[in-house]
Amino acid sequence: MAREGVNLQPGVMTLNTLILQDDGSASPHLRRLVQENPHYRFNFEICSRPTLASRICESCNFDLLIIDHVETVNNQRNFLQDIQSTNSLTPPPVVFISDKNAEGKSKTNTSTLCTDTLNRTLLNSQSLARSIHNVVCKQRLLSSNIQRSIELQRVNSELKNKNREIRDFYQTVSHEVKTPLAAAREFIHIVRDGIGGPVTPRQEELLDHALTSCDQIATHFNDLVEITRLDAGKVRLRRKSASIDSIITRTLASCAKAAATNGMQINTEIASNHRQFIADGDRIFQVLSNLLSNAIKYSDANSSITINVSDNNCGGLIFCIADQGCGIAEDDQLKIFDRLYQGNNGRHQFSGAGLGLGLSIAREMVTLHQGTLWVESTVGQGSQFYFSIPDCTGSKDKDQLSHLTKDDYEQKNIAC
């Protein structure tokens, strides 16, 4: 075994190279061919036995192996497995030099090794330089990809842990705040109703503002809890026969006070041939009430809003909430369903209000139903929010728990 170093011009990469060669007399010739490579400088380690080569690889890091050993060339798979077992990440690339009758035996299924085979009859400094350059470049690319994959896995794991911490924080804060908030709301109600003593009209007005603020805080916390449950895959749909009329009635009742305060008229148009459909009625109500609440919020006083339900071409339903409000800019129409996104419409007092979770939750609830939620809008003329519910009338008329996530049902076909 011998070691030899060759220096070329400064800045050229140095390759620690192990040569395994059974014919010691040919070693100087092979080293000379290797040294004529203009792209690298080489530090050589030379041995004649495969077992010794494997042990050396265990203790030293090599950038290149050159194998001119008949027994090893004819049993490449075993040798490569030994080399791979001594290098946990990326084993060094290997160049085999074979006799003519051994050509083609370099084929291997070892995916983390870069190998090449040169026929001895074609061996010269140019072919050897080309082979070395190819395997070294391939190995560097493979090593870079593996390192990046490991780094991405590490970063992804950290992001998952951070996301889990955020979800836990949301849930903890929500539960810690909701109980005292409910108590505060009840005490305000007691004072507002005059149970604790006479209340002036001005005090009633201020207490009403306080109750509204309590309700807004509760809504924000409910949204935070809902979004964390969606992320954790804990939201289940309880599918059963649901009444369109009942859901519309509940939706109107939930927004009646806000509509009356703003002098708005809400019209309903049910053009569907199906008054019953299979879905989670509570979740459909949640989506509708969110869309109607937004329509009231972003519409001018004394305007009208229309709730329309119709059949689509695939036997399902399409719900539509149409308003005459300020409208949504084209650039914002795709973004408004993103989590925490808030439009910047300076024309309206509610621009930037809220947490920006309502439409995101609504979209995910619709997606869990295998449907699609989208918007059509013109600035200054109003908006129409649509969502489709596919044909579920063939399902059994009983409770069905759905464990499906939003990614299972992402659909681009709005009509169906």
Structure tokens at 228: 């964390």
> Would you place residue 392 in the very low, low, confident or very high pLDDT band (cuts 50, 70, 90)?
low
CATH number of 2-152: 3.40.50.2300
Q: Identify the residue whose tokens are 């979004």.
A: 227
Residue 174 identity: S
Residues 80 and 110: beta-carbon distance below 8 Å: yes
Structure tokens at 17: 């190279």
Bridging pattern class, strands 276-279 and 237-243: antiparallel
Please write the tens of the pLDDT for every residue from 90-134.
788 889 888 754 444 444 444 456 788 888 888 999 999 999 999
**What is the C-alpha to C-alpha distance for residues 410 and 223, in angstroms, rounded to an integer?**
22
Nearest to 18 by CA among 160, 132, 152, 185: 132
Residue 127 identity: S
> In this predicted structure, which of 74-88, 146-160, 280-294, 296-310 has the lowest mean pLDDT?
74-88
Rounded alpha-carbon distances, angstroms, from residue 325 to 294, 295, 336, 382, 383? 10, 7, 16, 4, 7
Higher pLDDT, 229 or 303: 303
Please write the tens of the pLDDT for every residue from 333-368.
888 888 877 766 555 555 445 667 889 889 999 999
SS3 state at 222: helix
Q: What is the pLDDT of residue 399?
A: 40
Q: What is the pLDDT of residue 55?
A: 82
Q: What is the pLDDT of residue 396?
A: 42
Higher pLDDT, 253 or 114: 253
Dihedrals phi, psi of 240, to nearest 5 degrees: -160, 180
**What is the C-alpha to C-alpha distance for residues 16 and 136, in angstroms, rounded to an integer?**
12
Domain 237-409 has CATH 1.10.1370.30: no
Q: What is the pLDDT of residue 102?
A: 45
Average pLDDT, the chain: 80
SS3 state at 382: strand
Mean pLDDT over 13-17 rounds to 90
**What is the C-alpha to C-alpha distance for residues 48 and 134, in angstroms, rounded to an integer?**
25
* Predicted confidence (pLDDT) at residue 241 exceeds the cutoff of 60: yes
Nearest to 143 by CA among 89, 83, 94: 89
Q: What is the pLDDT of residue 89?
A: 63
pTM summary value: 0.57
* Predicted confidence (pLDDT) at residue 320 exceeds the cutoff of 60: yes
How would DSSP label each residue in 234-296?
A: ---EEEEEEEHHHHHHHHHHHHHHHHHHTT-EEEEEE--S-SEEEE-HHHHHHHHHHHHHHHH
> Would you place residue 9 in the very low, low, confident or very high pLDDT band (cuts 50, 70, 90)?
very low
Q: What is the pLDDT of residue 85?
A: 63
Q: What is the pLDDT of residue 153?
A: 93
Q: What is the pLDDT of residue 345?
A: 57
Higher pLDDT, 302 or 349: 302
Residue 68 identity: D
Rounded alpha-carbon distances, angstroms, from residue 304 to 168, 251, 290, 382? 41, 16, 17, 11
Task: Please report, for the chain, the start and end positions of each structural domain, with discontinuous segments joined by +.
Answer: 2-152, 159-231, 237-409
* Predicted confidence (pLDDT) at residue 4 exceeds the cutoff of 80: no
Higher pLDDT, 216 or 242: 242
Residues, the chain: 416
Residues 246 and 283: beta-carbon distance below 8 Å: no
Structure tokens at 195: 């149970």
> Would you place residue 232 in the very low, low, confident or very high pLDDT band (cuts 50, 70, 90)?
confident
**What is the C-alpha to C-alpha distance for residues 413 and 355, in angstroms, rounded to an integer?**
29
Nearest to 379 by CA among 339, 332, 336: 332
Structure tokens at 348: 């309206």
Please write the tens of the pLDDT for every residue from 192-211.
888 888 989 899 889 988 88
Nearest to 288 by CA among 242, 343, 233, 346: 242
